[in-house]
Structure 1
Amino acid sequence: MHLKDFFPSSLVISLFISILSHAFPKYVCGIDFRYATCNSSAECGRLGKIHYPFWVNGSQPWYCGYPSFGLNCHKDEATMWILSEFFHVIDMDSSTQTLKIARIHEPSTGSIACPYFNRSMDQIASFSYTSDVEIISVLHDCPLIKGLSSYKYPCAVVNNKQSHSYFVANTSLASRYRSRCGYSVLLPVLASAAEGLAKGSLDVGLALSKGFEVKWTANETQCEGCMESGGRCGYDWNLNTPSCFCRDRPYPESCSRPQVPAIPPTALDSPRSRMYPSSSNDFYPSFFLCCLFYYAIETSAAIHLIHVFSTQSSIQLFGCT
């Protein structure tokens, strides 16, 4: 009787592995789940490939990037949820760490509500305005002001009050009329758009649709060190700090030891690799290696050598005829 007749069936093996997988949900074949899931970039419309510190909602888990750097992608459009409001992401420049964003609903037909709150990017530690941004004032709940008739801001007041709103790019002009209005809001625009507003060559809807620029701040140096050590960059939302996801577990900055690259699936599917024993039904008992503990790196049929990697150490096993 052949030894393989004593080996458990493939069904029993599958059941055994399944039980172990459920017993250790944080690991997939010995790999930490965060390391496994944050393994690649994602596409996001015209922005192209998205890399850390950004992450794409629906394509990547939230821990693959910074909390406020999540992108929502639909066809060619990309949006971000910032300060309780959605913004269009017009452009992204990783070399200068700059985003160009714009409010999703810009006033052009008077069909949107007037902004009631001052939302400054300076309120978020990871973002700051670039030098190409100027702040304009929007005065709301005002009477009809003849001096500002050419600066009307066509937005709809929620309570349908018969009042007027104005945008003012000139700081001194805004200060002069602010006391005559109920409240004012500050909005960022590009410097070129502010100039066009002041000259009257650009309407406010178009000026705001051009967006404005913000510079993002992330610990890129830590990420580089993490990647050099074989890890993958991510974020620990519990500790509110960047993290380095490694095969065994996360580390603060880099992996504790060099990480062995994953073996491409095709390496084991090639014709040369299909040698006896080639399936669970053909394996001798001593040849069975549970994927939860070892990784097959290479095999040599000539000398009956299997080189495997353990999560603890790299060892060699010799088969016998």
Structure 2
Amino acid sequence: MPHQLDSAILYPNPEETYYKSCGNMFNCGDISDVGYPFGSYNDLPYCGHPGFELSCNQRNTTIDIMNQTYRVLKINQASKTMKIVREDIMEGNCTQKFVNTTLDNSLFEYTTTYVNLTFLYGCDGGINNIPGIGTIPCGDSNDAYVLPLGAGVSENCSSSVMVPVPVVGAGYGGFVIDSTLLMKTLKEGQEIRWKMDSKACDDCTKSKGRCGFNKVTNQTTCYCPSPPYISDTCSVSTPESRKGLSTGVKVALGKVITFPIT
């Protein structure tokens, strides 16, 4: 809030501050030089898309999707892809929040074929009777169990969580779970692609503007260094290209004529 107040004092027109405010790139650990649609948790709200807010904690980048925190392992803006893994799985073998792993399908999609495997928690005796079931050590007395495809959920367990796993190298062969390979695959992350059309931002940056997000229209917008400050693209002319006019120099009939500015 103090940042916005200072901007209002320095610039009579607040729109004039947008271009300056949204020029930062996100950098954290192995993730570097990431721009729109991503934004940092401490950016002003009109800079990045609200569904692409990144946080940095001890050199680890995270993003929240559908109320679930994911560790971001890689971002490739050219291909519009990133590799993510549930933060609770990165911190241990077992999920700490008993909620299914789901994406915001309006913004993201998986880039590879995947299957939903079911993790069971708080299970009493009799769970090992299911053929092909995998056991995941949780570091305490309550291990987790992973059901093979086609197996029904056991009534002996208090919680179940569905986690999408890439088909290739997923840690299951036929209907038998390889728990060690499964956890290795999960911690390597899964690649997703964001669906936002990049043309509007590309056109903006080509015109020397900076991309931002309009929460009224829910669309990408362009912030410019000179009027109009908010547009689809910026004017070709910039303050630097207009310096010749500010000196009072004009070219007419092949001659340079100087005149004072009043």
What is the TM-score of this pair, normalised by structure 1?
Answer: 0.62
Q: Of 37, 40, 47, which residue of structure 2 is paired with 1:53?
A: 37
Partner SS state of residue 89, structure 2: coil
Amino acid at match of 1:190: P
TM-fit CA distance, 1:254:
2.8
Q: Of 195, 198, 217, which residue of structure 2 is paired with 1:220?
A: 198
Cα distance in 2, alignment partners of residues 76 and 93 from structure 1 = 18
TM-fit CA distance, 1:43:
2.8
* Map 1:19-168 → 2, pairs under 5 A: 21-22=9-10, 24=12, 26=14, 32-58=16-42, 60-74=43-57, 76-106=59-89, 114-121=96-103, 123-144=104-125, 145-147=127-129, 151-155=134-138, 165-168=144-147
Partner SS state of residue 62, structure 1: coil
Which structure 1 residue ranges, 5 or more long, are not aligned?
1-17, 264-294, 308-315
Q: Which residue of structure 1 aligns with residue 237 of structure 2?
A: 260
Q: Does 1:181 align with 2:149?
A: no
Amino acid at match of 1:133: Y
User: Does the 8 Å CA contact 2:137/2:144 hold for their aligned counterparts?
Assistant: yes
Amino acid at match of 2:123: C
Change (3 A) 1:45 1:109: closer
Percentage of identical aligned residues: 23
Partner SS state of residue 106, structure 1: helix
User: Does the 8 Å CA contact 2:170/2:182 hold for their aligned counterparts?
Assistant: no
Q: Of 230, 243, 250, which residue of structure 2 is paired with 1:297?
A: 243
Change (3 A) 1:299 1:109: closer
User: Does the 8 Å CA contact 2:88/2:95 hold for their aligned counterparts?
Assistant: no
Q: Which residue of structure 2 aligns with residue 318 of structure 1?
A: 259
Q: Deviations over 1:131-167 (max 9, x none)?
A: 243321112333222235962234489xxxx866311
User: Does the 8 Å CA contact 1:231/1:254 hold for their aligned counterparts?
Assistant: yes
Partner SS state of residue 238, structure 2: coil
Cα distance in 1, alignment partners of residues 243 and 11 from structure 2 = 26
Cα distance in 2, alignment partners of residues 47 and 230 from structure 1 = 24
Cα distance in 1, alignment partners of residues 40 and 189 from structure 2 = 21
Cα distance in 2, alignment partners of residues 47 and 109 from structure 1 = 22
User: Does the 8 Å CA contact 2:134/2:177 hold for their aligned counterparts?
Assistant: no
Amino acid at match of 1:250: I
Cα distance in 1, alignment partners of residues 92 and 26 from structure 2 = 36
- The alignment yields a C-alpha RMSD, in angstroms, of 3.6
User: Does the 8 Å CA contact 1:107/1:205 hold for their aligned counterparts?
Assistant: no
What is the TM-score of this pair, normalised by structure 2?
Answer: 0.75
TM-fit CA distance, 1:75:
5.7
TM-fit CA distance, 1:40:
4.8
Cα distance in 2, alignment partners of residues 82 and 182 from structure 1 = 25
TM-fit CA distance, 1:297:
1.5
Write 1 or 2 for the structure with the bigger share of strand: 2
Q: Which residue of structure 2 aligns with residue 194 of structure 1?
A: 170
Q: Which residue of structure 2 aligns with residue 282 of structure 1?
A: none
Amino acid at match of 2:101: R
Cα distance in 2, alignment partners of residues 108 and 204 from structure 1 = 16
Which structure 2 residue ranges, 5 or more long, are not aligned?
1-5, 250-256
Q: Which residue of structure 2 aligns with residue 272 of structure 1?
A: none
Write 1 or 2 for the structure with the bigger share of helix: 1
Cα distance in 2, alignment partners of residues 180 and 118 from structure 1 = 19
Partner SS state of residue 207, structure 1: helix
Change (3 A) 1:41 1:317: farther
